[in-house]
Amino acid sequence: MIELFATAAGAAVVFAATDIDDIVILTLFFVASRTTGRPRTWQIVAGQYLGIGALALASAVAAAGLLVVPDPWTGLLGLLPIALGIRALLRRDGEDAPAVVGGALGVAGVTIANGADNVAVYVPVFRALGPADSAVFLLVFVVLVALWCAAGAWLGGHPRVVRLVERAGHWLVPAIFVAIGLVILTTSGVLSHLLHLRTT
C-alpha cells in the first residue's frame, strides 16, 4: 500500500512539473468559452484529455522501444500556437479574438504542442516502471487532468480575469499563444539544430 501511494505521489509530481503551464492555456480557453461561446466547456475538457492522452501514449510506445522520438524536432510543434495566435491577431472581428481555437481537436493540438517536451520526461519514467506502476501513473494523470480543467475553469470565471480579457483579449490572448509557441521553439533546441544544419 505504501508503494502504491509513493507511485501515485511520484505521478502527481511528474504531471504537475510538466503541465503547470497548461493552467494558463486552459484559463484562456475557459475565458474564451465564457465570452465568445467557443470552444465549449466539454470541448476544452475533451481536448485536454485527448492531448494529454496522446502525449502519454506516445511516451509509453517510445518507452517500449516501438517509436523513436525525433528530438528536438518535436519543438516544431511550437509553430501551431504561433500560427493560431497570428491568425487570431489578423481577424477583423476583435470580439472573437479570444477564441483562438473552436473545438476539441484544436484544444488537443495546442495541448500536444505545448506538451511536446513532456515526452522527454515521460519516456524514461515509463521505461523505468513496470506495467502496474505505469497503470497507476496513467490513472493519476486522468484524475489530475480533471483537476487542471477545474482550476482553469475557476480562473477563467474569475471576474478580474474575464474583465482583463474582455478589455485586451483581442491582442492579449493571441500574443500569449505566440509567446508560448516561441518558448517551445527556443527551449526545445530546434532553432539551434536548424542553424547547425545550415552551417554544416
The secondary structure of 152-200 as a DSSP string is HHHHHT-HHHHHHHHHHHHHHHHHHHHHHHHHHHHHHTHHHHHHHHHH-
Residue numbers of the chain with a pLDDT score lower than 70? 66-75, 92-99, 169, 188, 190-191, 193-200
- pLDDT value for 198: 64
- pLDDT value for 53: 92
- pLDDT value for 66: 65
The model's pLDDT over 189-199, given as tens digits with 9 standing for 90+, comes to 766 766 666 66
Contact, 113 vs 54, CB < 8 A?
no
- pLDDT value for 103: 87
- pLDDT value for 20: 83
- pLDDT value for 140: 94
- pLDDT value for 172: 77
- pLDDT value for 125: 85
- pLDDT value for 181: 80
- pLDDT value for 51: 93
Question: Smallest Cα–Cα separation from 62: which of 51, 52, 71?
Answer: 71
Question: Cβ atoms within 10 A of the Cβ of 101, count?
Answer: 26
Contact, 109 vs 80, CB < 8 A?
yes
- pLDDT value for 193: 66
Domain locations along the chain: 2-199
CA distances from 22 to 19, 111, 126 (A): 5, 7, 21
